[in-house]
Amino acid sequence: MKLSSRGRYGVRLMLDLAFYYGGEAQFLKDIAKRQEISEKYLWQLIKPLKSAKLINSARGAHGGYKLAKHPSEITLRDIVEVLEGPISITECSSNPDVCERIKICSARDIWENISVMISQYLESISLADLKERQKGKYMYDGI
């Protein structure tokens, strides 16, 4: 399983917003500059995150984007599943109907267990947790 740029950049976008939680909405151009991701690409990520009610938007002079929930209430699993789909290392571990050998395949049990462990691990890390980890790497605008 390989996490695509959608998932990786989506986590960066959401982490960026976590640093400004409780403050002013952030313009997409500012997020793009801080994260070194094109505005056009970020826009593609905003839509599903907004539909999943993880991000709110506001128009006007004080418009922009904010987290819809406290960073402690949004997990990495929430973000990854919105942008990547179900967390599964094989298609059969999330959709048993795709394989005729499902009842006799012992390897499928292993793939399913790995998928569950990945999902649980991502569920255990909130944006607030990731924000704390990030503080040791560098700060956002002195925050």
Query: The domain at 5-135 falls in which architecture?
Result: Orthogonal Bundle (1.10)
Question: What pLDDT, in 10s, does the model give residues 3-30?
Answer: 899 999 999 999 999 999 999 999 999 9
pLDDT at 141: 54
CB 64 within 8 A of CB 58: yes
Q: Name the pTM for this structure.
A: 0.88
Tell the residue number behind the tokens 């909405």, with chain if given. 25
**Please, what is the Cα angle at 64 between 126 and 28, to 5 degrees?**
80
CB 96 within 8 A of CB 90: no
Instruction: Decide if pLDDT at 71 tops 70.
Output: yes
Domain extent listing, the chain: 5-135
Residue 88: CB atoms within 10 A of its CB come to 19
CA diameter of the chain: 61
pLDDT at 103: 82
